[in-house]
Structure 1
Amino acid sequence: MSNPRILILGPPGAGKGTQSVNLADTYGVEHITTGDALRANKDMDISDMDTEYDTPREYMEAGDLVPDAVVNAIVDEALSQADGFVLDGYPRNLEQAEELEGMTDLDVILSLDVSREELVDRLTGRRVCDDCGANYHVEFSPPEAEGVCDECGGDLIQREDDNEESVRNRLDVFDENTAPVIAHYEDHEGFVAIDGEQTPDEVWDDIENAVDEHAE
């Protein structure tokens, strides 16, 4: 198939980022995330949208949440420029899902299923180098020396939003806002649920089979 249009869904810690990179590399499509799309279009003129600021950059520099209407417009722009894509991190709610239907037709919708306790283990076990930003995991990808970055020798820390309380709160937010999006797509002919608790290679095998089956 050529230039498939893929949506990947799943909670924080499910492995969307890792598998999105695999999809982009294997099928030669754009990996589109809301964060990347915002950064790429931060100077987009939104003065006709009756928003507080005239560009996304002004929201970002002020530390304010970018309104859904602006995010929708930016994702629409990014998709219109992509010759095939894997969309990761959007839509986050049903309203955005409805907007997406007006932007493009999807070939494949991948939903990574991972149990809540497995997600908590994955996210609370993450460690980040305080100096260079390299990522580790206490169980799955530990450093050679505990608490020390292999790359630069810096201290490994647990980010504030990776403590158990914060992680469970993030998962609650996902359940409330984004889980209904998955239910929304379950009747789509290209929808495929993937067991995200397998090894990354096994997950990738299932994803590749799903794309090959459903994309033209």
Structure 2
Amino acid sequence: MAAPRILILGPPGAGKGTQSSNIAETYGVEHVTTGDALRGNKEMDISDMDTEYDTPGAYMDAGDLVPDKVVNAIVDEALSQADGFVLDGYPRNLEQAEELADMTDLDVILSLSVAREELVDRLTGRRVCDDCGTNYHVEFSPPAEDGVCDDCGGDLIQRDDDNEESVRNRLDVFDENTRPVIDHYEGDDAFVAVDGEQTPDEVWADIQDAIDARVE
């Protein structure tokens, strides 16, 4: 099998990170995320782009959003260096989707669908160890002792952006900006809708079937 070029889409809480890791391990491809790509190219010279700062890291250090044209260039660079990939977290809008079409061809476009209230339950139930960063969920993967990390004994906290108001706002932003990207890809032969409300193993089985059917 050739190294597949895969795009995975879905709202926050749909399980993209988990399934991207499965894809990367099973098919031997790079897991490319915008966050990792930005961190890996913080010192990239963008002085020719007529931007406020000369490196992506300067935007990040200032707490400012990195402009789309810089993100596009960094993703392009990351994909050009990868022998197959699963792209997670990009494109976030239709303009980025158009840029991606100029960067590469996609073998599989996966879209994980999960109902909004299920996403709210998943995200608001997440707890993170304040010491080691291990993730738990009050319903799906609780610690042995309530509020205490199994790994290091640290306190489990709810991150500020996992409260219900923040979660619903994040989902609103996704619906406004990224939902049109999914609509844009739906007619593509590479597009596969996956029921993200199944168990993680069932979702993974569907994803494997989709990849194996489309990549020789």
Q: Give the partner amino acid of 1:87.
A: L
- What do residues 108-158 of structure 1 show as CA deviations (whole Å, max 9, x unaligned)? 000000000000000000000111111000000000000001111111010
Q: What corresponds to 2:36 in structure 1?
A: 36
Q: What corresponds to 1:22 in structure 2?
A: 22
Q: What corresponds to 2:153 in structure 1?
A: 153
Q: Give the partner amino acid of 1:118.
A: E
Tell me, what secondary structure is at the counterpart of 2:32? strand
Q: Give the partner amino acid of 1:61.
A: D
CA distance in 2, matches of 1:45, 1:214: 37
Alignment of 1:78-117 (within 5 A): 78-117=78-117
Tell me, what secondary structure is at the counterpart of 2:8? strand
Shift of 1:215: 1.7
CA distance in 2, matches of 1:192, 1:159: 32
Shift of 1:8: 0.1
Q: What corresponds to 1:50 in structure 2?
A: 50
Shift of 1:184: 0.3
Shift of 1:208: 0.2
Q: What corresponds to 1:143 in structure 2?
A: 143
Tell me, what secondary structure is at the counterpart of 2:87? strand
Tell me, what secondary structure is at the counterpart of 1:2? coil
Q: What corresponds to 1:213 in structure 2?
A: 213
CA distance in 2, matches of 1:173, 1:199: 26
Q: What corresponds to 1:200 in structure 2?
A: 200
Q: What corresponds to 1:189 in structure 2?
A: 189
Give the aligned CA root-mean-square deviation in angstroms.
0.5
Q: Give the partner amino acid of 2:51.
A: T
CA distance in 1, matches of 2:186, 2:215: 17
> 1:122 and 2:122 equivalent?
yes
Q: Give the partner amino acid of 1:136.
A: Y
> 1:72 and 2:76 equivalent?
no
Q: Give the partner amino acid of 2:103.
A: M
CA distance in 2, matches of 1:149, 1:124: 18
- What do residues 32-52 of structure 1 show as CA deviations (whole Å, max 9, x unaligned)? 000000011111110000000
The runs of at least 4 consecutive aligned structure 1 residues that moved more than 3 Å come to none
> How many equivalent pairs are there?
216
Shift of 1:2: 1.5
Tell me, what secondary structure is at the counterpart of 1:95? helix
TM-score in terms of structure 2 length: 0.99
| Residue identity (%) | 83
Q: What corresponds to 1:165 in structure 2?
A: 165
